[in-house]
Structure 1
Amino acid sequence: MTGSGEQANDDQVPAWARKTAGESRWAATAAVVAIILIQYYLPSQFTLGPRLLIPGLGLALMLVLIAASPFRIDREEVWLRRASLFLTAVLSVAVAWSVDRLVIGLVDGSVSNDAAGLLVSGGAIWLTNVLVFGLAYWEFDRGGPAARAHARKQYPDFLFVQMQSPAAADPEWEPQFPDYLYLSFTNAAAFSPTDVMPMSRWAKFLMMIQSGISLITMSLVIARAINVLK
């Protein structure tokens, strides 16, 4: 009878608040691959170090993580967590460098006067910003994907609509990488939260940084492109 009661209680708890099988790795892996490809094909003036430095390091770390946990992210080994955070840090430094080079180039006039090339490069850097911050939100919310799979933390760092209105959501719903990517995209496009609310201070601070980067990048790139076209 006790086992049946515990099962009934588990069924009433939404998936995001209880232990689950763990999230599939492949959506986040696709985002990492996209960032690596963008970094490889960006003009050299916007990349950090030799062209293969960031793509090579990112690819090596990604393959290590895939080999250690190829399908679902549910292992909580310290070294895996550190490797995952290091990968996010490497990609974050790369996009920060790209934004810095783009802004400086726009301000001092050293960026190409080719409007189409400027828009393509600026758009690629903006997209990288969305992907990297999506990874960061995904990595840090409630301790990361593995910690979320084991329901280690009770309180969320990001409050999704499904958490606020559980009656209108599938009981098996839990936030996965596409949800964090959506959060990142809307924050970068609207420069503010939309339907996902940051709850912890670090989440608010990270969203504020992303909004600032997005605002500066979009405004300067568009203004420069319009000036070139004239």
Structure 2
Amino acid sequence: MRFLRARGTSLAVVVLVMFLVTALQAGISYSVGEGPLSKLEPSAFGVLVPAFFALRFGLLLFLALLWLLGRKRALFRTIIVANAYFTLALLLDVISLLQVLGGLRQAAASLLIDAALMSVSNMFIFSIWYWIVDPPGVEEDPQQDEPWAFLFPQRGSTLPHYASWSPQYADYLFIGFTTNFAFSPTDALPLTRTAKMLMLLQSAISVVIVTGIAGGAINALVGSA
């Protein structure tokens, strides 16, 4: 436990979440690049799949190495770079699957699975962004001199037993989940423009995934039944 605490519990959780995001996005990349949807994807996306795999796993190995060495600051900066890449990859996945909709009927089930993988990736990626922009972040200690990005109920009132409460990664995961499926804030309100723009982008991506990709796949499945 001392080994884990010295390197940051939240950092360990975030690195593990990035491993999970990589696995989810790898499933989408395979499906569109080489799997059942490859014949319906008109772009050159499939040619780039090996490079995407190599870059993702290279980033993960670097993240794991920095965490093991206890290089918190370098790890935090690398997490920002890696999550920016995962965000770009998510946008490319959305565009690629929208292109697939034209020849959908014979591959609707695969597209529906990819929409689910993309939705979960969206939730995890933006939960990391929320953790990054809101103090205490990497330090894991309350910082009174930095403005909050989110107003949690525990921060906004004097609740019993929460005087020294500070958000952890699980709190940002909850924000990512509710924004993903409610398309709006729930218990934690965004305070900064950065937080608002991140929630706006996540909600917009989620709307496209749910209404455009998943809805189109369900219609195709119903129509082909």
**TM-score over 0.5 for the pair:** yes
Look up the match of 1:32: 18
Unaligned runs of 5+ in 2: 1-6, 34-44
Separation in structure 1 between the aligned mates of residue 67 and residue 105 of structure 2, nearest angstrom: 39
2:136 and 2:81 map into 1 onto residues whose CA distance is 15
What TM-score comes out, normalization by structure 1 length? 0.77
* 1:187-198 paired onto structure 2 within 5 Å: 187-198=179-190
More helix by share: 2
Q: Distance in 1 between matches of 2:155 and 2:207?
A: 29
- The 4+ residue runs of structure 1 with deviation greater than 4 A are none
Give the aligned partner of residue 49 of structure 1. 49
1:120 aligns with 2:113: yes
Q: For residues 60-109 of structure 1, what are the alpha-carbon distances to aligned partners after superposition, in whole Å with 9 as ceiling and x for unaligned? A: 23213312328xxxx4x4x3432221122222222121122122322xx1
TM-fit CA distance, 1:133:
0.5
Separation of aligned partners in 2, 1:208 and 1:59: 27
Counterpart CA distance in 1 for 2:154 and 2:136 is 19
> Is this contact kept in 1: 2:97–2:111, CA < 8 A?
no
Pairing 1:85–2:80 present: yes
Aligned match of 1:177 = 169
Superposed CA deviations along residues 20-67 of structure 1, whole A, max 9, x for unmatched, are x96443321221111111122224326753152243123123213312
Q: SS of the counterpart of 2:25?
A: helix
How far apart are the structure 1 equivalents of 2:216 and 2:106?
9
Distance 1:152 1:65 in 2: 28
Which residue is equivalent to 1:7?
A: none
Structure 2 CA distance for partners of 1:54 and 1:218, relative to 1, 3 Å: farther
Question: Aligned to 2:146, what secondary structure does the other structure show?
Answer: coil
RMSD between aligned alpha carbons? Answer: 2.5
Which amino acid in 2 is paired with 1:86? V
1:155 aligns with 2:151: no
- The residue aligned with 1:104 is 99
The answer (yes or no) to whether the contact 1:157–1:198 under 8 Å persists in 2 is yes
Q: Whole-Å Cα distance in 2 between the matches of residues 82 and 118 of structure 1?
A: 34
Is there any run of 5+ residues in structure 1 with no aligned partner, and where? 1-20
- For the Cα contact (< 8 Å) 2:66–2:75, is it kept in 1? yes
Assess, with a 3 A threshold, how the Cα gap between structure 1 residues 99 and 169 changes in structure 2: closer, same or farther: farther
Alpha-carbon distance in 1 for matches of 2:8, 2:76: 15
**Compared with structure 1, are the counterparts of its residues 213 and 80 closer, same or farther at alpha carbon in structure 2 (3 Å cutoff)?**
same
Pair 1:140 & 2:126 matched: no
